[in-house]
Amino acid sequence: MIAADELDDAALVAVVSFQGAPLVGSERLPDARIMVKAIRVMEAHLGQRFDAVMAVEIGGSNALQPLVAAALMDLPVVDADGMGRAFPDVSKTSFAVRDLKPYPLSVVDCRDNSVIITPGADWFWMERISRKVVTEMGSAGATCKAPRSGREVKDHAILGSITKALRIGQTVADARHLHTDPIQAVIESEHGLLLFQGKVVDILRRTTEGFLRGETTLEGLGPDQGHTFKLAFQNEFSVAWHDGQVRITVPDLICVLDSVSGEAIGTETLRYGQRVSVIALPSPAVYLCAKGMEHVGPRAFGFDLEFVSAFDHQVSG
């Protein structure tokens, strides 16, 4: 792993991810060799080799697969990503908010089908077209996003995100070892907030158009007994309501953790009866502007809502 400032300005960086619905990964495990193929297809299209690999998002398997792909290719991984969290589509990267070029993009599936996409419009069209391709591939495909230069990574990526993920994991592991509360340990380490503690009593999930969409309802436990908490998601959690009132929306991070172990619970692994704690972590600063809200605010997810933050965030012009 290398820091972004170790890249030459002219270095070519592969920004990679598996695209599709997380639930599909329960049946078809992501294979880093397919991601390597997506990178090789892009290299053939560009006529140039990559110097490093980085994740498009530091969430779920997309945080880990670039490490494996880079190991298979004997390339360094950059300690950075394009979101500082997980989001469900490519139009929600920091590169998109900063209006960097969205193409070309390569998509490869497990059957050796490969596609290069070069739309001339914008990031939203790139997402629309690539999502259609991935849906035809069975809602799962390996992608190499628009290549980034070393300078672009330094100026526009979310830096230090792998280090942050490792720190959170170490915080949870240390809390378990010391028999202290891992939830509180994460909150203190990452300047987060506890939103709710409860039990999963209802969940609705459906895979549509290459996304995992749905909602879950929690019944309060402990200090939250007698209250309810509802979460909506599109691959990731996007809006939450406490007793029917909006409590928090994207781009703040809404995280659901096992109340005992501190393990993260994704939208695809929510189960009836789980005892969970919902915490909020601050949004990366790049999204806290009017342009950022166009890409990642609640309206970008289909909710007719203004941004509601759990923190003292103000949206700049």
Q: How far is CA 53 from CA 67, 185, 200, 272, 310, in A?
A: 8, 31, 38, 38, 33
For the segment 174-196, what is each residue's pLDDT rounded down to a tens digit? 999 999 999 999 999 999 999 99
d(CA 74, CA 196): 44
Query: Whole-prediction pTM value?
Result: 0.91
Q: What is the pLDDT of residue 150?
A: 98
**Across the strands, what pairs with 239?**
232, 249
For the segment 69-94, what is each residue's pLDDT rounded down to a tens digit? 999 999 999 999 999 999 988 899 99
On the question of pLDDT at 210 being above 70, the answer is no
Q: What is the pLDDT of residue 212?
A: 76
Q: What are phi and psi of 72, to 5 degrees?
A: -65, -30
Same fold, 4-159 and 178-301: no
Q: How many CB atoms lie within 10 A of CB 74?
A: 6
Q: Which residue has the tokens 């290719």?
A: 73
Half-sphere exposure in the Cβ direction for 220 (13 Å, CA): 13
Q: Which DSSP letter does residue 51 get?
A: S
Q: Is the peptide bond preceding residue 284 cis, with omega within 30 degrees of 0?
A: no
Domain 4-159 homologous superfamily, CATH: CV3147-like domain (3.40.1610.10)
For the segment 226-280, what is each residue's pLDDT rounded down to a tens digit? 999 999 998 889 999 999 999 999 999 999 999 999 999 998 899 999 999 999 9
**Which among 56, 18, 20 has a CA at the least distance from the CA of 36?**
18
Q: How many CB atoms lie within 10 A of CB 171?
A: 18
**Rg of the Cα trace of the chain?**
19
Where are the chain's structural domains? Answer: 4-159, 178-301
- The vertex-233 CA angle with 38 and 126, nearest 5°, equals 35
Which residues are within 8 A (CB) of 208 and not within 5 positions of it... i.e. 6 or more apart? none
Candidates 2.40.390.10, 3.90.550.10, 3.90.1150.10, 2.60.120.10; CATH matching 178-301? 2.40.390.10
Which residues are within 8 A (CB) of 228 and not within 5 positions of it... i.e. 6 or more apart? 198, 217, 218, 219, 220, 242, 243, 244
When pLDDT is averaged across residues 115-142 and rounded to a whole number, the result is 86
For the segment 3-15, what is each residue's pLDDT rounded down to a tens digit? 999 999 999 999 9
Q: Which residue has the tokens 């599909």?
A: 24
d(CA 200, CA 280): 18
Residues 60 and 19 sit within 8 Å (Cβ to Cβ) = no
Which residues are within 8 A (CB) of 312 and not within 5 positions of it... i.e. 6 or more apart? none
On the question of pLDDT at 45 being above 90, the answer is yes
Q: 26 falls in which pLDDT band (50, 70, 90)?
A: low
